[in-house]
Amino acid sequence: MRTQVAVIGAGPAGLLLSYLLHLEGIDAVVLETRDREYVRQRVRAGVCEQPTVELLREIGLGARLDVEGLPHEGFSLRFDRADHRIALTELTGKSITVYGQQEIVKDLIDAHEARGLPVEFEVSGVELSGVDTEHPVVRYRDADGVAHTLECDVIAGCDGFHGVSRPSIPDSVLKTFTRDYPFAWLGVLARTPPSDEELIYAHHERGFALHSMRSPEITRLYLQVDPAEDLANWSDDRIWSELTTRLAVDGDFVLREGPILDKGITPMRSFVAEPMRHGRLFLAGDAAHIVPPTGAKGMNLAVADVRVLSRALKALLKGDPAPAESYSDTCLRRVWRAEHFSWFMTTMLHTDPDADGFARRLQLSQLRYTASSRAAATSLAENYVGLPFA
């Protein structure tokens, strides 16, 4: 078997890259270890930056997003039992759209199937070789266990933090930077209308809470918990009680409760691997970097990566190596900006169990300054809606 680009991973990064390459007339094969329905249904991020939305519209994948997506022109920082609105559109002229990552993945899978673009699910034993040559190879077994050798010009590693792509780069080449946080998120998906029209980021002495949504009927909510917390300790009643406490505000806000459809605990970390390229192997998305979800940057960074990568690969395959050589540096400038913003939002809003009184008062001071200063609010809003693509 032969293709121009072997794409490892059928998440938003891999599928979007494959589709962008297709639009440029470049052949690609996507390999994914999970089954098709799992990939279509797994719940992930839900905030799309304005540049992400504009790109999806530009390539003809914005129809369902425009019908079902929820545009937001602001969100609330909630502390001191009061809401402090960050007016995104007023401050920046831009907005964000709530549209689940799994919905984008569904749109991309449907687009691949409509055009007959190859996506192989349930593959196993994926191995990369020759990545430092001009003719790398991917070996794998298909869903029936049949062994395949896929020859290609380029490999795009879009297979996430635990995938095989990043470990295929020698330790002598790769530098990694990690920050682990002393808290995790307990996330729940509930069948109930959202309790507010916009997202609420709440700072509370018992821990952070987030009120979000996926549709007019489905609410997404999060609670800060200890990373070692056992999910079995959190009954539905306890979750609703804790959310009610942390989201409490002076006024008429009432948290709407409903059946919890899904819940899980996610640890929080910051991670960056440099460089994002070795030979003919290019990393994109979570394979190269992880951000804590507080800044809503993970999926949007993946989109930004593959936008740069698709253009770099087009040039490379036509004989111009310069964009490919600068791919890592170009992406990392945006990655580190997003890492800083995500760290800023995380440390400003979460309750650090090891922080002393001095640190907690500094944290509250930062919240009050951000909510009261137009300059500070504008900086937050500018980063939140998404900086322009490189």
Cα separation, 175 vs 164, whole angstroms: 16
Of 89, 168, 85, 102, nearest to 131 by C-alpha is: 168
Q: Classify each residue of 106-134 as buried b or exposed e, where b means 16 or more C-beta atoms within 10 Å of its C-beta.
A: bbbbebbeeeebebbbbbeebebebbeee
Which tokens is 302 given? 């993946």
Catalytic (active site) residue 293:
yes
**Residues 164-181, buried b or exposed e (16+ Cβ, 10 A)?**
bbbebbeeeebeeeeeeb
> 99, 140, 181, 384: which is the annotated catalytic residue?
384
Residue 114's contacts (CB-CB under 8 Å, 6 or more residues apart) are none
Which is it for the CA torsion 24, 25, 30, 36, positive or negative?
positive
CA separation for the pair 185, 377 (Å, rounded): 25
Catalytic (active site) residue 204? no
**Which residue is catalytic, options 211, 297, 314, 350?**
297
Distances (CA, A) of 269 to 175, 185, 252, 317, 359: 17, 11, 35, 36, 20
> Which of 22, 72, 94, 278 is an active site residue?
72
Q: How would you label 61-90 residue by residue, b for 16+ Cβ within 10 Å and e otherwise?
A: bbeebeeebbebbbbbbbbeeebbebebbe
Cα separation, 71 vs 61, whole angstroms: 16
Out of 289, 293, 314, 327, pick the active-site residue. 293
Does residue 278 have an active-site annotation?
no
3-state secondary structure of 309: helix
Which residues are annotated as catalytic? 72, 201, 293, 297, 384
